[in-house]
Amino acid sequence: MGMVQGVCGGCGKTIRRDSPVPVVVTCDCYKVCPLCGSVMEPYAPELAPRTFRNEEDPSWDLLSQAEKSESSVNAVYVCRLHSPPYFSDRLPVEVVLE
């Protein structure tokens, strides 16, 4: 068995594994809160996604004065240790180990 390694593009962590061939793994840095470093929990909105407004649609807010909501459909994880809670839309980062 050979040692393969790669660097995560999201956090810079070096990941090493025993493998005879190059392999792709997922770094878990997207689950870590950037404010406090604790592990965040999956976020599930209380409402159905179709009830959320489309903040990217310019016809929704013609004057661009509406306040943007952090807890949107794009939020994947939440850290409730902060007030207000931190909503993260970071996605898993694939790391190629060679």
Residue-range domain boundaries for the chain: 3-46+70-97
3-class secondary-structure state, position 51: helix
Number of H helices, E strands in the chain: 0, 7
Across residues 31-36, what is the average pLDDT? 95
- Which comes out higher in pLDDT, residue 36 or 66? 36
Q: Which of these, 85, 64, 60, lies nearest to 75 by C-alpha position?
A: 85
Tens of pLDDT, residue by residue over 52-63, are 555 556 665 566
Tens of pLDDT, residue by residue over 45-98, are 776 555 555 555 666 556 666 555 544 556 789 999 999 999 998 888 999 999
